[in-house]
């Protein structure tokens, strides 16, 4: 059940604690979603002007003032140390570009660790999960982040159960609620879920309609990340083979056939492939076929029977089963939701 909508004098204070090089959409997407919910609540309550009735949002950084963002567009922020943590309803940490050499801002980590216990709930968008993790807020919890950073988060913070698939995760334990979300636009999905929890389905739906986005997207991150991303870890050893596989998805792609193409014995090939790519040849073939079918569905109007044959599924039934298993939706539903026209 959603909590009761706030009164005009008790709008929920949502604070975005941001670091330099902020991924702009990680913050502005959720801010816009909360504002659309605010507009919906104002219309429903007949409020014109005055204080916010549902949400007030604050973007704050360690130094305050003008903050550079990854997109190059500066934003103006308040100083974090001017905020009273007791007034924070929801603390959200958006992401920044992160690689193996990126150092987190220690002052921001310390502020998050100190302020989080005062907030009703804490959330992250994309790589903001690294800041929550550094502050000790994700230990023993299940968490999401951008699919490209999931393995890195798991390596860097081994006490976290990192799940690279969900668009967002709500983890409640020990009386604390922590939300984490996938990359970039997933912050909007997260914000809509928070709005639904606070103000009910109708308000969240109106906010989604105003934003022209889905209230709840089907499937997980795998529908937006490339199924072939695992190839990166393989280096050059299987590059030619992967190209050949992509061009021959309609044909027989057994381990024996792939081993023949790679000029190895089946046993040696299977072992070296798993070591290099991190998944079995059969799983890679399945991922490539589903990805190819997904692209065909949104980029063409070809019938399912043709797509199933072209991508190596054989029958429409096999294609449907693969889509439900991978994306949680049927192929035609996927086309309806993600096709350009």
pLDDT more than 90, % of the chain: 64
282-310 pLDDT, tens digit per residue, is 998 998 899 889 888 877 889 999 999 99
Domain total in the chain: 2
Place of tokens 């096709």: 339
Residues 155, 269: one domain?
no
Q: What is the pLDDT of residue 326?
A: 84
Residues 171, 277: one domain?
no
Residues 246, 313: one domain?
yes
* List of long-range contacts for 311-320, beta carbons under 8 Å, 24+ apart: 311/249, 311/250, 312/249, 312/250, 312/251, 312/253, 312/285, 313/289, 319/293
Residue 1 belongs to a domain: no
Residue 5 belongs to a domain: no
249-269 pLDDT, tens digit per residue, is 999 999 999 999 999 999 999
CATH at 260: 1.10.10.60
Residue 3 belongs to a domain: no
Looking at 172, 194, 223, which one is the last position of a domain?
223
126 is catalytic: yes
16-66 pLDDT, tens digit per residue, is 999 999 999 999 999 999 999 999 998 887 777 778 889 999 999 999 999
Residues 112, 156: one domain?
yes
Residue 2 belongs to a domain: no
Residue 304 belongs to a domain: yes
Domain that holds residue 177: 12-223
Average model confidence (pLDDT) across the chain: 89
Residues 243, 208: one domain?
no
CA 123 to chain centre: 12
pLDDT band with cut points at 50, 70 and 90 for residue 279: confident
Residues 90, 187: one domain?
yes
pLDDT band with cut points at 50, 70 and 90 for residue 116: very high
Secondary structure class of 1 (helix, strand, coil): coil
Q: What is the pLDDT of residue 137?
A: 98
173-231 pLDDT, tens digit per residue, is 888 999 999 988 999 999 999 999 999 988 998 998 888 887 777 666 765 665 545 55
Residue 123 belongs to a domain: yes
CA pair distance 272, 120, nearest whole angstrom = 49
Q: What is the pLDDT of residue 114?
A: 98
Q: Which two tokens stand for residue 203?
A: 């308000």
Marked catalytic residue, from 28, 53, 126, 199: 126
Residues 149, 180: one domain?
yes
Residues 237, 212: one domain?
no
pLDDT more than 70, % of the chain: 90
Residue 283 belongs to a domain: yes
Residue 6 belongs to a domain: no
Residues 190, 210: one domain?
yes
pLDDT band with cut points at 50, 70 and 90 for residue 166: confident
Asked whether residue 136 carries a pLDDT value surpassing 90, the answer given is yes
Residues 135, 208: one domain?
yes
Looking at 182, 202, 223, which one is the last position of a domain?
223
Residues 64, 213: one domain?
yes
Looking at 223, 247, 262, which one is the last position of a domain?
223
Residues 51, 196: one domain?
yes
**Which stretches does DSSP call E strand in the chain?**
12-17, 55-61, 65-67, 75-79, 90-93, 121-124, 142-143, 161-162, 168-173, 176-181
CATH at 207: 3.40.50.880
Asked whether residue 235 carries a pLDDT value surpassing 70, the answer given is no
């Amino acid at each position: 059940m959603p909590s009761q909508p706030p009164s005009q004098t008790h709008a929920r204070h949502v604070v975005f604690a941001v670091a330099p090089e902020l991924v702009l959409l990680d913050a502005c997407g959720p801010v816009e979603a909360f504002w659309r919910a605010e507009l919906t609540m104002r219309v429903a309550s007949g409020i014109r002007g005055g204080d916010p009735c549902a949400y007030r949002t604050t973007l704050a950084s360690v130094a305050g003032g003008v903050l550079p963002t990854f997109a190059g567009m500066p934003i103006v922020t308040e100083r974090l140390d001017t905020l009273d943590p007791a007034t924070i309803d929801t603390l959200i940490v958006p992401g920044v570009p992160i690689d193996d050499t990126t150092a987190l801002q220690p002052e921001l980590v310390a502020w998050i660790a100190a302020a989080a216990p005062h907030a009703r709930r804490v959330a992250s968008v994309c790589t903001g999960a690294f800041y929550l993790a550094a502050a000790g807020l994700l230990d023993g919890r299940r968490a999401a982040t951008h699919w490209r950073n999931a393995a890195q988060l798991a390596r860097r913070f081994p006490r976290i159960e990192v799940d690279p698939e969900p668009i967002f995760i709500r983890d409640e334990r020990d009386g604390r609620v922590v939300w984490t979300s996938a990359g970039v636009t997933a912050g909007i999905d997260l914000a809509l879920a928070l709005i639904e929890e606070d103000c009910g389905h109708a308000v969240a739906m109106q906010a989604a309609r105003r934003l022209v986005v889905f209230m709840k997207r089907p499937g997980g991150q795998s529908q937006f990340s490339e199924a072939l991303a695992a190839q990166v870890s393989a280096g050059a050893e299987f590059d030619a083979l992967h190209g050949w596989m992509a061009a021959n998805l309609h044909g027989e792609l057994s381990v024996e056939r792939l081993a023949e193409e790679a000029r190895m014995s089946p046993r040696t090939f299977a072992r070296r492939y798993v070591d290099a790519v991190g998944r079995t040849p059969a799983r890679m073939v399945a991922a490539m076929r589903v990805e190819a079918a997904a692209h065909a569905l949104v980029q063409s109007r070809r019938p399912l029977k043709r797509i199933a044959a072209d991508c190596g599924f054989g029958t429409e039934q096999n294609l449907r089963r693969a889509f439900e298993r991978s994306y949680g939706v049927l192929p035609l539903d996927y086309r309806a939701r993600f096709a350009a026209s």
